Amino acid sequence: MIVVMNYQADKNDIQSVVNRLEGLGFKIHLSEGVERTIIGAVGDKTQINDVALEAMPGVEKVVPIMHQYKLASKVFKKESTIVKVKGLEIGGGKLQVMAGPCAVESREQLLEAAKQVKEAGGTILRGGAFKPRTSPYSFQGLEEEGLKLLAEASEATGMPIVTEVMDASALPLIREYADILQIGARNMQNFFLLRKVAKENKPVLLKRSPSATIEEWLMAAEYILAEGNFDVILCERGIKSFETYTRNTLDLTAVPVVKYLSHLPVIVDPSHAIGDWRFVGDMSKAAVVSGADGLMIEVHPNPPEALCDGKQSLTPENFKKLMKELNIIANTLGKSLNDS
């Protein structure tokens, strides 16, 4: 950590900062320039999160040097984490495609979607039973009934289930049905929920908040890892920008960046990022090439009738076509879809 003193700081100001840091156990390097003094502090940075040096007289700014996350870092764990769920591996050589409808709407809809996803080569079934919706007047999910239908679809197809936990109070229910617990983008910094979900001893799929930097996303993962649960799958699903043509801006560069900084697997959800089925196929393929360990894609038997996110859902036919193309691309990269 570097403390930059302002040009008006006097000796007392500097000494106070040095004393403060030394009192916290830091080793100090002092660099007195013509214009200003710079104080380097080496030590356990976790302490420093709670010290407001900028509030001390004469301090211009504090420049952090190291990342705040540890357990999520490649420095801490060099080999890639492989998350296992019912015999499938996320983060290994095979790509997993999680697919299904945005929301579980009915038995017929879900079973049909699951069947089509399975046939096309999808390996994990997604579907929301509890739905976070911008409008209180929108469909909010079938709740327990939806979970039961997911279980039935899972049994029928053999695919494990990933579904969102919106609130810790629903955990006792959801844990009975879900194989992977999803933290939605809006809950990425719901630290209370992160801790609770972490303790379930199940893989956690952590979506990136649309307003989170990559570092904030890894810090959210750190909450889960700090509870002893290393089975975290990161999921990029678009960030906020000024561009309005797409729902959000898919930050695909985050995939190789996360792979560079962390050992955790990362998948991509182009459906939510883009919000328009027309571009989901191209960006799914681009995501695989960027290094993603898998995809999460919305598929609905009849998108115009969907109660949620129909605009961004692929039809089963378009999904089947996409899966063929993905398979060819995966093979080109020396990878494969899990089923092939």
Near its own copies in 159-218, by CB under 8 A: 166-169, 186-187, 189-193, 209-211, 213-216
What is the distance between the alpha carbons of residues 138 and 80, in angstroms, rounded to a whole number? 40
| Stretch of residues binding its own copies (CB under 8 A), selected from 29-37, 120-128, 153-161, 199-207 | 29-37
Residue from 156, 329, 336, 339 that binds its own copies (CB under 8 A)? 329
The verdict on 15 binding its own copies (CB under 8 A) reads no
**Site mask for its own copies (CB under 8 A), range 46-65, x = bound:** x--xxxxxxxx------x-x
In this structure, which amino acid lies at residue 296?
M
Contacting residues for 157 by C-beta, under 8 A, at least 6 apart: 114, 115, 117, 118, 125
Report, in Å, the least distance between residue 325 CB and its own copies.
9
Among 86, 107, 310, 321, binds its own copies (CB under 8 A): 310
Length of the chain counted residue by residue = 340
| 48 token code pair | 């420093």
Q: Is 5 helix (H, G, I), strand (E, B) or coil?
A: strand
- Give 152 or 325: the residue with its C-beta nearer to its own copies: 325
CA distance 28 to 74: 27
Nearest to 189 by CA among 218, 156, 162, 163: 218
Which listed residue (10, 12, 25, 42) binds its own copies by CB under 8 A? 42
The residue type found at 245 is Y
Binders of its own copies in range 234-263 (CB under 8 A): 239-246, 249-257, 260
> CA 162, CA 123: separation in Å to the nearest integer?
11
Rule CB under 8 A: say whether 119 interacts with its own copies. no
- CA 60 – CA 54 distance, rounded (Å): 7
For its own copies, which stretch binds (CB under 8 A), given 92-100, 111-119, 151-159, 325-333? 325-333
Compute the least distance from the CB of residue 78 to its own copies, in Å: 9
